[in-house]
Structure 1
Amino acid sequence: MTDPILLWNEVALEANRVSHTNGKGEQTGPTLSSRALAIVHLAMYDAYAGVTNDPNLPPYLDLSALPSPGTGASVEAAVAAAAHTTLASLFPSQKPFFDAILAGAGDISNAGHVFGEKVAQALLNDRMNDPGAAAGDYKPSPQRGRHRPDPDNPGQGFHAPFYGARSKGFAITQRHMLAKPPLDNSEYLRALREVRVKGIAPELMGTLPENIDDRKRSIDETLIGIFWAYDGSAELGTPPRLYNQIVRRVAIAKGNTPAQNASLFALVNAAMGDAGILAWEQKYLYDFWRPVVGIREHDRSLGPAPTEADNNISDDCDPLWLPLGAPNTNSRNKNFTPNFPAYPSGHATFGAAALHITRLFYGISIGDRKPDNLFKDLDFVSEEFNGINTDNRGTVRPRHNRNFPGGLWQMIIENGRSRVDLGVHWVFDAFAVKNDGTPDLTKTDTDGKPFGGVPLGIKIAEDIFQAGAGKGPKKSTVLPSS
């Protein structure tokens, strides 16, 4: 029998891919993608839980307000109806595709179908006041260290400046906060020198200072940067799709039951839903500039609000620097720096939240920060390197089969740091680092707040997992902060 959770998870991931390809603008970008996937998977979870009445699957919503599914209600019909209803509401242009899947996998004559529809509508109603991703009245600051558009894509606009602060939580018990990112100190200068060398555009490598050959981006680092990208490109979608693909690989290898998958994918996508909220709240709280602006305007004589005149600019400044950039896969447009502030990294936060809550689901202890064996004997092909998709010159990238001996923990760290290799993030956007360059996930400010998206994602994962006693997401009572 087909697992209905895996089936409709695959449909939801396809919806994400198509939504970034068909030009309809439905649930596009990282924030709305994570929100949509959270809604769909929470609806599937509650439909499954409501029909089975399994004490190990406590409902997310208060299902007592809904009519009972009734005798003879099937899990398959309920899950199909819940998924179909949410997907059709979120991605209306794709409804014919969802209808076709429902015709083969659902049963509209079964009592479970009506129950699944009602669960889905209750979930949609619960999130109906969520903000969108529009820029609204956000205005970039001219001050040093503040986010401004990519100078190589000056008309890019701004993604979701009010989404984080104005969204209520999915399953968090508190709004986890981060320390202020470093600026103009030794830690910042070390990060600037790293990304200036590692993340530079290939055609500009000859402009780098001499005697740094050992610090330049390697072939492996270039591949890693692109491997984890999924920057909203056509035929690819966004990072939450990528992390779901990885979790699917683990779930299938582990031989999960449908009940286990209902719980796992609800936890994973609720965690990413909250990661999108909290990361974007912090992004626009600190409003921190990207490397493409920070490196070009490092000298205080440069930028829209220079503080001094200088005829001999700092050697750490390059006013013409450009990054390798987020890959504009399947397009002839230039690579780019994303249109939202750097700190914390969304990739790092989403990836840590999704993959760490998966680690917890499979028995890794709260507080564990070590490699695991959850990807033992497995491999993974990123669709950035699948032998089909093309770079922005129209050249097909080769298929690359990658394994992870350190398991999901290796992925969390590699995914976080990969953005430095593209030149679109500072390393502290993912995590603080020790003097030898390795992650320092224990570093905090004087108020105990950590640095970067990986610690934030881990906090989200552990919070949600503990709140739901490891069984499933518990509905958050956390309200918008503004």
Structure 2
Amino acid sequence: MDQILYWNAVALEADRIAHTELKQAERGSRGPIGSSRSLAIVHAAMHDAYFSIVGAPHGTWLTAPPVAANGAAVDAAMAVAAHATLSALYPAQNGRLDRALREADLSGPGVGRGTAHGQAVARAVLRVRKGDPGTDAKNYHPDTAAPNHRPDPVNPAQGYYAPHYGARSRCFAVSTRYTLDPPPKGVDPRYLDALREVRAKGIAPEAAASLPTGMAARTADETLIGVFWGYDGSKGVGTPPRLYNQIVRAVAHARDNTVEQNARLFALVNIALADAGILCWDEKYRHNLWRPVLGIREYDPSMGPDSTPGRGLDPDCDPCWRPHGAPRSNEVAFNFTPPFPAYPSGHATFGAAALQITRRFYGVTAEGPDTLVDGLGVVSAELDGSTTDNDGVARTRHTRHFPDGLWQMMEENGRSRVFLGVHWSFDAFATGANGEMDLTQNIGGVRLGRDIADNLWTNGLKQDRGAGPRLP
């Protein structure tokens, strides 16, 4: 049994259950930040349990890992490290996690010594990240003047998710706190182009007939793309880090990875995701840009809390505009706009970090299409034939193919959020003259995620190289 793939599956199921059962004890492991942090801790522990016994030139993530007793069984060390970290992060699921450990096929000489080592590694990893800030908004005082972020008017009680986390967190391993250029705003023509695009492509389906003449509404395929990449913490589905892990699992299976390769790959992927969460959330609350639902409704100066008298409504303003929204899957409720600022896109940052580090792991260095998913079909939990939409109707199963590989996924994942009406296009990336993704500009989440992945690949997974917090 490959313990990395086994416990990765257990961890992804823990994420799904945490977002389905909503236990208070697991609040810190929910949402994109909670998920990415938890998955990084689990995979760092498995990585170090393995390489502190087997050895490798790249060494361990921990600066001073526990020393294993001679003859410690590596499978037992990995399994127990995963079980111990998961039990700490998902305490409401301890019964299921204990059962997973019993079914992990651990036997033979050295199991006891491997168990002790796995426990020691888990304690060390948890201790290193014990001081991470939470995802609550205590003592956060938002500046809500336009064009700053405010809660979704369709879900006005949603509050603010993880406003302190990014700025006050130490990175897991990325050595530079990358920052992005400010997003387009106001009279910048790039902002107006993005507004017109999301107004048409992201509108709620029941309101599409209200679009001005000449605006091309979202196509059926664009709706499919938006929902496919959803994973907005809904019941039975979970968060974006779960989806990107599922994609990497498919690649690892297709490439017939060894346990050693998987120990390294999944640690790289999940630490990239955790650092993407830290730096993306720092940028989100630093730039504090509103979402399209407010930007479109309040594009005219006569609209909004600080409105001034006008002489007629600007044609690019729609005071009643509503987005398709992030999918509220498996419950009957309004779709929603996420409870944190728009720029940069979390999906774009997470996806680029995870998929770019996977490209680098398999030797892809050039930007552009790759062949890493040739012949593979990908099924999203949002479109698996059993997940229901927010009207309670099961969505049809859909298998998606990506002929241009993980590079195509990085771009499509970023664009998908426009089709849900919850992001501006530049939240994902700047575009060139023909609308293609342009990563030469320091704009958007794909650029940020790519830089994070490339930094990790160059500098390795080292706890002591992680950049410190921006704020105390």
Note if contact 2:45-2:125 (Cα within 8 Å) is conserved in structure 1. yes
Q: 2:152 is matched with which residue?
A: 150
Q: What's the CA shift for 1:138?
A: 1.9
Q: 1:101 is matched with which residue?
A: 100
Note if contact 1:287-1:342 (Cα within 8 Å) is conserved in structure 2. yes
Alignment of 1:288-437 (within 5 A): 288-306=289-307, 308-365=308-365, 368-437=366-435
Note if contact 2:51-2:60 (Cα within 8 Å) is conserved in structure 1. yes
Where 1:454 maps in the other structure, the secondary structure is: helix
Query: Unpaired runs of 5+ in structure 1?
Result: 444-449
Q: What's the CA shift for 1:140?
A: 3.2
Note if contact 1:69-1:111 (Cα within 8 Å) is conserved in structure 2. yes
1:126 aligns with 2:124: no
Q: 1:447 is matched with which residue?
A: none
Q: What's the CA shift for 1:118?
A: 0.5
Where 1:7 maps in the other structure, the secondary structure is: helix
1:457 aligns with 2:449: yes
Which whole-Å deviations, capped at 9, do the CAs of 1:383-430 have from their partners, x for residues lacking one? 100000100111000100111000000000000000000000000000
Alignment RMSD: 1.2
Q: Quick one: distance in 2 between partners of 1:378 and 1:465?
A: 25
- CA 1:86–1:400: 2 relative to 1, 3 Å: same
Q: What's the CA shift for 1:210?
A: 1.1
- AA paired with 1:225? G
Query: Unpaired runs of 5+ in structure 2?
Result: none
Q: Quick one: distance in 2 between partners of 1:81 and 1:321?
A: 51
TM-score, length basis structure 2: 0.96
- AA paired with 1:117? Q
Which whole-Å deviations, capped at 9, do the CAs of 1:3-26 have from their partners, x for residues lacking one? 010000000000000000112041
- CA 1:473–1:387: 2 relative to 1, 3 Å: farther
- AA paired with 1:103? R
Q: What's the CA shift for 1:352?
A: 0.1
Q: What's the CA shift for 1:473?
A: 5.2
Q: Quick one: distance in 1 between partners of 2:163 and 2:63?
A: 32
- AA paired with 1:186? P
Which whole-Å deviations, capped at 9, do the CAs of 1:43-83 have from their partners, x for residues lacking one? 00000011112x2441111345x2x3222211110001100
- Farther-moved stretch of structure 1 (240-249 vs 103-112): 103-112
Note if contact 2:19-2:233 (Cα within 8 Å) is conserved in structure 1. yes
Q: 1:446 is matched with which residue?
A: none
Q: 1:39 is matched with which residue?
A: 41
Q: Quick one: distance in 2 between partners of 1:473 and 1:372?
A: 28
Note if contact 1:345-1:429 (Cα within 8 Å) is conserved in structure 2. yes
Q: Quick one: distance in 1 between partners of 2:466 and 2:158?
A: 35
- CA 1:477–1:353: 2 relative to 1, 3 Å: closer
- AA paired with 2:167? A
Q: Quick one: distance in 1 between partners of 2:440 and 2:470?
A: 26
Q: Quick one: distance in 1 between partners of 2:378 and 2:462?
A: 27
1:480 aligns with 2:469: yes
Q: What's the CA shift for 1:434?
A: 1.9
Note if contact 2:63-2:464 (Cα within 8 Å) is conserved in structure 1. no
Q: 2:62 is matched with which residue?
A: 61
Which whole-Å deviations, capped at 9, do the CAs of 1:306-330 have from their partners, x for residues lacking one? 2x31130100000000000000000
Alignment of 1:212-223 (within 5 A): 212=215, 215-223=216-224
Of 112, 115, 129, the match for 1:113: 115
Q: 2:211 is matched with which residue?
A: 208
- AA paired with 1:382? S
Aligned residues, how many?
Answer: 464
Identity across matched positions, percent = 53
Q: Quick one: distance in 1 between partners of 2:409 and 2:356?
A: 10
Q: Quick one: distance in 1 between partners of 2:399 and 2:271?
A: 29
Which whole-Å deviations, capped at 9, do the CAs of 1:242-293 have from their partners, x for residues lacking one? 0000000000100100000000000000000000000000000010000000
Note if contact 1:275-1:460 (Cα within 8 Å) is conserved in structure 2. yes
TM-score, length basis structure 1: 0.95
Q: What's the CA shift for 1:206?
A: 1.1
Q: What's the CA shift for 1:477?
A: 3.5
Q: What's the CA shift for 1:137?
A: 2.1
Note if contact 1:3-1:258 (Cα within 8 Å) is conserved in structure 2. yes
Where 2:168 maps in the other structure, the secondary structure is: coil
Q: Quick one: distance in 2 between partners of 1:421 and 1:397?
A: 17
